[in-house]
Amino acid sequence: MSNPVELSKDYVIDDNGKIYVDSIGTTGAQGIQGIQGIQGIQGPAGSSGGGSGGAMVLIASEVLSAASNSKVFSSITPIYNNLKLIVVARTSINSPAYEAIGIRLNSDSGNNYDYSFVESAAGGVGSLSYTNVNVALLGYAASAGASAGLASQYDLTLGNYANTTLHKPYSASGYQASLNRSQSVGGIWKNTGAINSISVITLGGGNFVIGSAFYLYGIT
C-alpha cells in the first residue's frame, strides 16, 4: 500500500484513491454505564367492591280477589333500613275518572300528617299542600269512570322507618292513568314511633277493584 494521504474516521485512503479499513487503532475504553432511572411511584390500590347493601326483600303482597276500600300491611318488623310500597290500583267510583287514595301509619287517624303534592301534564303544573290532616295523600287512582282497564301506579318510600327518635317523612311518585299525568308527593307523619303497619285507603267512597295489587318491600 502507498503512503496514506488522508485519515477519515475508520478508513485510510491511499494516493491511488483505494480505501482500506483502518484496523490499526486501539479500542477505546468502555464508557461508564448510565445511572438507572428512578422507579415510578406505585398507584393507589383500587377500592374493594361493595357488598349487597340496598337489596329489596319482599315482605308481603296481595292482588285483590275481592273489592275492598283498604289494604293493610301489619306486624312490620324493624329489621330493614327502609320500606318501599308499590301500589297498582283502580277504584270503583264512576265520577270523576279518578279517586284520591292515601296512607295511614300505625292506624293513626289523628291530625298528624302534612304533605305537599305536585302533578304535571301537557297543560302545565298543579300543586296543593296541607298540614295537620288525618291522612297522608298517596295519589289519585284511575277509577271506573276512566277507560276500561286503566290503572294508576304509585311507589312509596319510607326511610328509617324503625327509628324512634324522629318523625317519619315519606315520598311517593306515580302515574295517574285516566288523566295522563305524572304525580309526586312528599309528607311527614308527626310521630316518633317505629312504623309497624301501613294502611292504604280510598278517600272518595269507592273500593279498590279486583286485580288491584299491593307489594311491600324491605330495603337493607
Cα–Cα distance measured from residue 14 to residue 12, given in angstroms and rounded to the nearest whole number: 7
Concatenated DSSP letters for 137-198?
Answer: EEEEEEETTSSTT--EEEEEEEETTT-SSS-EEEEEEEEETTTTEEEEEEEEE---SPP--E
The answer to whether position 143 is within a domain reads yes
The answer to whether position 43 is within a domain reads no
Q: What pLDDT does 124 receive?
A: 80
What are the E-state strand segments in the chain? Answer: 4-8, 11-14, 19-21, 56-63, 70-73, 82-91, 98-105, 113-121, 124-133, 136-143, 152-159, 168-176, 181-189, 198-202, 213-219
Closest CA to 110 of 135, 131, 127: 135
Q: Determine the distance from the C-alpha atom of residue 114 to the mean position of all C-alpha atoms in its chain, rounded to a whole number.
A: 25
10 pLDDT more than 90: no
Q: What is the CATH number of the domain that holds 127?
A: 2.60.120
The answer to whether position 32 is within a domain reads no
8 pLDDT more than 60: no
Residue linked to cell 485519515: 7
pLDDT in tens, 35-93: 454 454 454 444 444 444 579 999 999 999 999 999 999 999 999 999 999 999 999 99
The answer to whether position 19 is within a domain reads no
Radius of gyration of the chain (CA): 40
137 pLDDT more than 60: yes
pLDDT band at 121 (very low <50, low <70, confident <90, very high): confident
Name the pTM for this structure: 0.75
The answer to whether position 156 is within a domain reads yes
214 or 5, which is more confident: 214
Cα–Cα distance measured from residue 196 to residue 144, given in angstroms and rounded to the nearest whole number: 32
Task: Let me know how long the chain is.
Answer: 220
Whether residue 4 has a cis bond before it, omega within 30° of 0: no
The answer to whether position 155 is within a domain reads yes
The answer to whether position 48 is within a domain reads no
pLDDT in tens, 142-200: 999 999 999 999 999 999 999 999 999 999 999 999 989 999 999 999 999 999 999 99
Q: What pLDDT does 36 receive?
A: 52
Q: What pLDDT does 54 receive?
A: 79
The answer to whether position 161 is within a domain reads yes
Count structural domains, the chain. 1
The parent domain of residue 215 ranges over 56-219
**Rama region for 107: left / alpha / beta (φ>0; ψ in -120 to 50; rest):** left
Cα–Cα distance measured from residue 206 to residue 209, given in angstroms and rounded to the nearest whole number: 9
